[in-house]
Structure 1
């Protein structure tokens, strides 16, 4: 089989295709023929040594993938040959709270990921994918979609009529818009171009703020909410946006900390944090149970993920380069035949 491995960090030149033996499943494991995988900002940041994650050298990258089971090991009971499946982000987190134990073994960080033609995986680390989705669409779900789902459902589910602030048009943000509209939640979205504004309108965003025209965009958020602020913020920007997010949140509202895509160095004002009354909560994707709950909602609504561009497996490095250019809206997918 063909696969890609990362043997060093700091450059796209570190992504190397290799020919290896096809793996064989053991007890309670299945062999998945990978049909598609997708990129997250996490993958790019790990390759270039940004953020807090330090992957092991020599691993197959990517946390997200979907495919078809082509062989089963002994005692497999959850799936059968021919089933369409996707991997969960944390292979040992089936339900409950994230712990040090359930958070181990993350794909592309501690264990081989999904940028490969075949993958052996525990049956416990898989979910069935919605029937109406293609493999390419399903491959976008494990990280970005589950993260977006939980950012609206936890620590408490947003209620119809409440308001959420979404930042940008990356994978998590667009899934959050789609899920918010399923819940009847009002959406205020931040973006930078007319093209992205149109995309957000098509997905149902109620109000859109162009942050290149409104540097102090929290003022527009306050105006749109009659001075109250939003109930929740899906915070993917990080250092470059958190100060304005704090000023945009209603008292007792929640800022779900998910990423650091905006870069920069934020000097937070303690009195702004104190006066806001906001709850700042880091969140890390979700469990298999969360994934399955989300898939039921996706199936019921016949929701389709938004894919920016699809690349072939042989052009996988170009997919990473496309993400590096930050010109995508939605998910970047690598398809395998």
Structure 2
């Protein structure tokens, strides 16, 4: 235990949801620390598309906390430990897993009910206690801001590409867009020896993807039949893995772009114009395609991902577009909504 434990924390919360502009600050007492819990000083928080959905009441789950403290992704410093905690000590740098009870193996409904920033209060706060088992040590070479991008975007990409059918050298990976998950996926694929094709509506964003190692880039505004271009670039074979963040507006083209028995990892639904379901079902059967839904990942996967990050630091350093101050949280949400970013948008909660 530490001698001086903070007694109160400032946090953002939603008195009412409907817009991120409803975010308000509150000061609340920090509850007594349970014997198996760890109190963490939050240093940085990164934002997800999910945070916009939660704020606007478009996140399709029930049971979201009233007066919700939002956000799921943080990096911070241990400031106190419960009496039974042996794994962590004051001063350790840690991230919390997105779903606190997802330790290993398949997720369940009960585990999903421990997701931060929705079913549980989130991390946009100065201090928060966590169960000791849900914390993961931050790689030494990463800053708090960089580490805050790992729990959702990076782990989602890692689970997709290094889950049941791990990407391997010589594979081809297609990433849609240049948001947090896609950029992390690009980096992990390159670190694993794969060839990456990236799409975007912006040539400037595609130039960044090129610098990060993408072998091929496609502007889907100037090349609307991007699926045919992917097939051409792979000499008719199609790609082995697709990080499918578009959903209804891109899934049909992803099915056309993937190889026979290839993997399409269903991660998001940011694109509109849904394709007829009959087209999708018939194509999946006809090509023996594996569609796999991704719900972030486990603590065990988080630790494995960090080993990859430490093994290939030059290829896997998180890409941060912009960092906002704690009192600029609403501005950070607005910037994320603008879709001007490449990589991640981060809120720096504490500097000392």
Is 2:339 the counterpart of 1:326? yes
Deviation at 1:104, TM superposition (A): 2.1
Deviation at 1:131, TM superposition (A): 0.3
| Number of residues of Structure 1 aligned to a counterpart in Structure 2 | 337
- The answer to whether the Cα contact below 8 Å between 2:73 and 2:123 also exists between their aligned partners in 1 is yes
- The answer to whether the Cα contact below 8 Å between 2:156 and 2:296 also exists between their aligned partners in 1 is yes
Residue aligning to 1:229: 238
Residue aligning to 1:310: 323
1:171-186 to 2 correspondence within 5 Å? Answer: 171-186=180-195
CA deviation profile, 1:241-283 (whole Å, cap 9, x unmatched): 0010011111100101011112332323143333232111111
- The answer to whether the Cα contact below 8 Å between 1:146 and 1:294 also exists between their aligned partners in 2 is yes
Residue of 24, 32, 39 corresponding to 2:47:
39
Is 2:305 the counterpart of 1:294? yes
Tell me how far apart the structure 1 counterparts of residues 282 and 99 of structure 2 sit (CA, whole Å): 37
Is 2:291 the counterpart of 1:283? no
CA deviation profile, 1:126-157 (whole Å, cap 9, x unmatched): 00000000000000000000000111112211
Tell me how far apart the structure 2 counterparts of residues 228 and 53 of structure 1 sit (CA, whole Å): 38
Tell me how far apart the structure 1 counterparts of residues 265 and 21 of structure 2 sit (CA, whole Å): 34
Classify the secondary structure of the residue corresponding to 1:329: coil
Question: Once superposed, what is the RMSD of the aligned Cα atoms?
Answer: 1.2
Is 2:120 the counterpart of 1:111? yes
Residue aligning to 2:272: 263
Residue aligning to 1:50: 58
Gaps of at least 5 residues in structure 1 are: none
Tell me how far apart the structure 2 counterparts of residues 286 and 13 of structure 1 sit (CA, whole Å): 30
Classify the secondary structure of the residue corresponding to 1:60: coil
Gaps of at least 5 residues in structure 2 are: 1-8
Tell me how far apart the structure 2 counterparts of residues 76 and 51 of structure 1 sit (CA, whole Å): 35
- The answer to whether the Cα contact below 8 Å between 1:30 and 1:123 also exists between their aligned partners in 2 is yes
- The answer to whether the Cα contact below 8 Å between 2:99 and 2:115 also exists between their aligned partners in 1 is yes
Residue aligning to 2:6: none
Moved segments of 4+, more than 3 Å: none
Task: Provide the TM-score with structure 1 as the length reference.
Answer: 0.97
- The answer to whether the Cα contact below 8 Å between 2:284 and 2:290 also exists between their aligned partners in 1 is no
Task: Provide the TM-score with structure 2 as the length reference.
Answer: 0.93
Residue of 234, 252, 256 corresponding to 1:247:
256
Deviation at 1:51, TM superposition (A): 4.3
